[in-house]
Amino acid sequence: MLKVKNLHTYYGGIHALKSVSFDLPEGEIVTLIGANGAGKSTALMSISGIVPPRYGEITFLGRPIHQMSPDRIFALGIVQVPEGRRIFPLLTVTENLDMGAYLRNDRKGIAQDIDYIFSLFPRLAERRHQMGGTLSGGEQQMLAISRGLMSRPKLLLLDEPSLGLAPVLVQLIFATIEKINRENKTTIFLVEQNANMALRIAHRGYVMESGVITLEDTAANLLNSEKVKQAYLGL
Amino acid sequence: MKAQSLPFIRRAASEIFQSLLVSCWFMFLTFPIMVIKVNPLERTIDWQWMRLVWIGLAVFPLSFVWRWLMKRKEHGGGQDGEDSWQKRLGEKIRADRKIYTALLAILAVFVAAFPFMFSSYQTQIMISALMYVMLGLGLNIVVGLAGLLDLGYVAFYAVGAYSYALLNHHFGLGFWPALPLGAGLAAVCGILLGFPVLRLRGDYLAIVTLGFGEIIRLVLENWNAFSFGPSGIAGISRPWFFGADLSLGQHTVFLYFIVLILVGFTILVVNRLRNSRIGRAWIALREDEVACQAMGIDKTRTKLTAFALGATWAGFVGCVFAAKTTFINPASFTFMESAIILSIVVLGGMGSIIGVIVGAMVLILLPEYLRAFSEYRMLVFGASMVLIMVFRPQGIIVGVRQHYRFGRKESTEEQGERDAASA
């Protein structure tokens, strides 16, 4: 579905991605794991066009997208749920969801999707008229993912959804990610530091170290690989 | 008995000591302006020492009041009580449609009857206050909603005014066709300024817009062939009223109603904008640009819309200004104007329509009615601004958006549909 070939991305003079290539097959959960500063988030930002790559190629359903603006990439169905949640604190939960459907105009479909999201996360339904900023960390993460779903994406890019959450909430979030993938056939690209959790729900995995992909395999194989166990699972 | 009263005495002593310090400080600060009086004719200096004593005596009790108010504010007790009292009143008025419509009707009648009840001078002042209401509401789109600090807003005001003045001078164009043209030209300027500054935020944006405001003023001042330079353009025609030959007083009344209708139109549009998707996109953009981009919001277009819409209103008011004074020159479009308009928005309460209206009334009417204080007018004006900001940092009227939203799901959706229909 999405192919990334020899991607180089820079922040000014800093070379953050050094010839990165990977594939996201349709309908799968693919995870990208790695330490802080490995360039995981940069890979996501490059796909969504917020930090455009300098060299290399990204094709989505056969179309090159690496030179498009973020809103055009979004319109194609690639949605990023940014790191640190970044919900709009002064808008209510419903309004936040409505911002996710910014490019859609079908009122009925939007209402349906909001209902679907409230069934996915009943907590959000309870707090639908509350300001985004007054939600707890876990609820904010739920809202951030839900806001991403509001445009009915083909590909969902999740950046560290477990960041700063209690283990119980991490479980819940990951179970829901699996459910979204299963029910809607949404392809999911999951960037995580919590390698254990991510590899458990993913089909495939990539390991990144200082801007370079060092390992790729099925998630099950990675979970059992000695190198991954030592470096990322702490076993 | 003694052990009990000792801490009290000590506290009282320290309070008195603090107040004494404050009065001494004030006596020192005001010494040059209050005590030294130069007599240029006899080349002598009168030392008015008694004034110093009066200052000290006046400041001493005031400093107690000040400290008490600050303490009350810190503990939040007074503030909360006040807020809930205001909120309760506000909710009551909003909930009871009868009271609401009655108040609105009284206000409408008063506003409509204003030029017939008061002198032409009062009407003139009211016209400029209403013009600033429009300017404030326009800038509120840019600063309050989209969060783009614009210090050069007066430039668009100047564009509007000069559009009408020049079109009138060269082509004899009347007020009515010039009004949309001036607004349109201002909007174009808004987009032109918007493009290069899209990447900037906060302080940097403020500096660039400040520069833009000055550039426009300097061009108008120095490009004699185009704008007639500092001598300005005189003899601009007044608004046409079905060919009737109006006296000066009648013209004022007519202009008052033009401005009133424009203000009503502005409130209507700004209110609709604020609760629309683009309004929410502005608020979202103000809060988090990256998140907005991740939601597929076109950053460029959204910001430019805010700039263009804000500028449009400045253009409208510019045309009205030219028609009101019939003479314009670059001196009317200095940075001071931008600062006053920005103060209206901040003082009144960012993002709140009623706040901006109240802010404009306070800031424009206060200096007029303070003329009784003659040379101390600006001092009192400045002091009241400081007081408002100390005690109500959120502005006189705090953003009403929050109150509206509870249980408004239905109307938000209707709104979405209407947006869809218009798009």
Give per-residue pLDDT as tens, B380-394.
778 877 888 888 777
Q: Is A133 on the interface with B (CB under 8 A)?
A: no
pLDDT in tens, A204-222: 999 999 999 999 999 999 9
pLDDT over 90 (residue B78): no
Q: Pick from A90, A102, A128: which is nearest to B295 by CB?
A: A102
Under a CB-based contact definition with an 8 Å cutoff, are residues A139 and A198 in contact? no
How close A193 gets to chain B, by Cα (Å)?
21
Please report, rounded to a whole number, the percentage of residues in chain B having pLDDT higher than 70.
88
pLDDT over 90 (residue B133): yes
Beta-carbon count within 10 A of A136 CB: 13
Give the highest mean pLDDT range of A97-101, B97-101, B183-187, B337-341: B183-187
What average pLDDT does the segment B237-245 reach? 77
Nearest CA in chain A to B415: A107
pLDDT over 80 (residue B412): no
Q: Is B416 on the interface with A (CB under 8 A)?
A: yes
How close A88 gets to chain B, by Cα (Å)?
6
Ranges of CATH 1.10.3470 domains, chain B? 118-391
Q: Pick from A50, A91, A129: which is nearest to B283 by CB?
A: A91
| Domain B118-391 bears CATH identifier 1.10.3470 | yes
Nearest CA in chain B to A82: B291
pLDDT band at B83 (very low <50, low <70, confident <90, very high): low
pLDDT in tens, B308-351: 999 999 999 999 999 999 999 999 999 888 988 998 898 888 87
Signed CA dihedral, B118, B124, B127, B129: sign only: negative
Concatenated DSSP letters of chain A? -EEEEEEEEEETTEEEEEEEEEEE-TT-EEEEEE-TTSSHHHHHHHHHTSS--SEEEEEETTEE-TTS-HHHHHHHTEEEE-TT----TTSBHHHHHHHHTTT---HHHHHHHHHHHHHH-HHHHHTTTSBGGGS-HHHHHHHHHHHHHTT--SEEEEE-TTTT--HHHHHHHHHHHHHHHHHH--EEEEEES-HHHHHHH-SEEEEEETTEEEEEEEHHHHHH-HHHIIIII--
pLDDT band at B84 (very low <50, low <70, confident <90, very high): low
pLDDT band at B3 (very low <50, low <70, confident <90, very high): low
Least confident of A24-38, A208-222, B88-102: B88-102
Residue B402: its chain A contacts at CB < 8 A?
131
Q: Is A94 on the interface with B (CB under 8 A)?
A: yes
> A98–B288: do the CB atoms touch at under 8 Å?
no
Beta-carbon count within 10 A of A197 CB: 21
Give the highest mean pLDDT range of A28-32, A160-164, A231-235: A28-32
